[in-house]
Structure 1
Amino acid sequence: MVGRSAGLRSIGAKVTRGRPRLGRTGQRRLGDAVTYAILLAGLTFTLLPFVWMLSASLKPEGKILVFPPRLWPDPWTWENYRYVLQETLFPRWVMNSLLICCITISAHLISGSLVAFGFARLRFPGRNVLFMLVLSTMMIPFQAYMIPRFKIIQWLGLLNTLLAVVLPYLFGSPFYIFLMRQYYMTLPLELDDAARIDGCNTFQIYLRILLPLTKPILATVAVLEFLAAWNSFLEPLIYLNSMENYTVSLGLSLFRQGWGGMIHWGPLMASTALSALPPLIVCFAAQKQLAGGIAVTGIRG
Structure 2
Amino acid sequence: MRKEGIVWKTFKVLVILLGMVLILGPIFVIFINSMKTMQEAGRNFFALPSGLNFDNYKELFGRSDFWSSFRNSTIVTVTSVTLIVLIIPALSYAVARNLNKKYYKMLYYYILAGIFIPFQVLMLPMVKQMTQLKLLNQFGLILLHLTFSLPTGLFLFVNYIRSLPAEVEEAARVDGCNVFQTYVQIVFHLIKPMIATIIVMDSLGCWNNFMMALLILNKSHNMWTLPLMQYNFKAEFSFNYTMAFTAYIVCMIPIVIVYALGQKYIIKGLTAGAVKS
- TM-score above 0.5: yes
Q: Does 1:163 align with 2:152?
A: no
More displaced stretch, 206-215 vs 81-90:
81-90
Counterpart in the other structure of 1:90: 66
Shift >4 Å, 4+ stretches: none
Counterpart in the other structure of 2:95: 119
Once the two structures are superposed, the pairs formed by residues 122-161 of structure 1 within 5 Å of their partners are: 122=98, 124-159=101-136, 161=137
In structure 1, runs of 5+ residues without a counterpart are 1-23
Contact conserved, 2:167 with 2:275, CA < 8 A, in 1? no
Counterpart in the other structure of 1:44: 21
Counterpart in the other structure of 1:251: 229
Length-normalised TM-score, structure 2: 0.91
CA 1:214 to 1:39, structure 2 compared with 1: closer, same or farther past 3 Å?
same
- Tell me the distance in 1 between the aligned counterparts of 2:163 and 2:182: 15
Q: What count of residue pairs does the alignment treat as equivalent?
A: 272
CA 1:100 to 1:65, structure 2 compared with 1: closer, same or farther past 3 Å?
same
Q: Does 1:280 align with 2:256?
A: yes
3-state SS in 2 of match to 1:89:
helix
Q: Does 1:100 align with 2:105?
A: no
Counterpart in the other structure of 1:184: 161
Counterpart in the other structure of 1:230: 207
Contact conserved, 2:29 with 2:46, CA < 8 A, in 1? no
Counterpart in the other structure of 2:152: 175
Identity across aligned pairs (percent)?
25
Give, in angstroms, the shift of residue 192 of structure 1: 1.7
Contact conserved, 1:64 with 1:265, CA < 8 A, in 2? no
Give, in angstroms, the shift of residue 153 of structure 1: 2.0
CA 1:207 to 1:69, structure 2 compared with 1: closer, same or farther past 3 Å?
closer
Supply the AA of the counterpart residue of 2:52.
W
Deviations 1:192-233 (A, max 9, x none): 211111001111111111111110000001111111111111
Contact conserved, 1:101 with 1:230, CA < 8 A, in 2? yes
Contact conserved, 1:107 with 1:169, CA < 8 A, in 2? no
Q: Does 1:78 align with 2:50?
A: no
- Tell me the distance in 2 between the aligned counterparts of 1:245 and 1:230: 14
**Which among 198, 219, 239 is matched to residue 221 of structure 1?**
198
CA 1:165 to 1:192, structure 2 compared with 1: closer, same or farther past 3 Å?
same
Length-normalised TM-score, structure 1: 0.84
CA 1:170 to 1:45, structure 2 compared with 1: closer, same or farther past 3 Å?
closer
In structure 2, runs of 5+ residues without a counterpart are none
CA 1:203 to 1:55, structure 2 compared with 1: closer, same or farther past 3 Å?
same
More displaced stretch, 73-82 vs 209-218:
73-82
**Which among 246, 255, 258 is matched to residue 270 of structure 1?**
246
Give, in angstroms, the shift of residue 185 of structure 1: 0.5
Whichever of the two has the greater Rg, that structure is 1
Contact conserved, 1:61 with 1:266, CA < 8 A, in 2? yes
**Which among 59, 65, 76 is matched to residue 42 of structure 2?**
65
Supply the AA of the counterpart residue of 1:232.
N
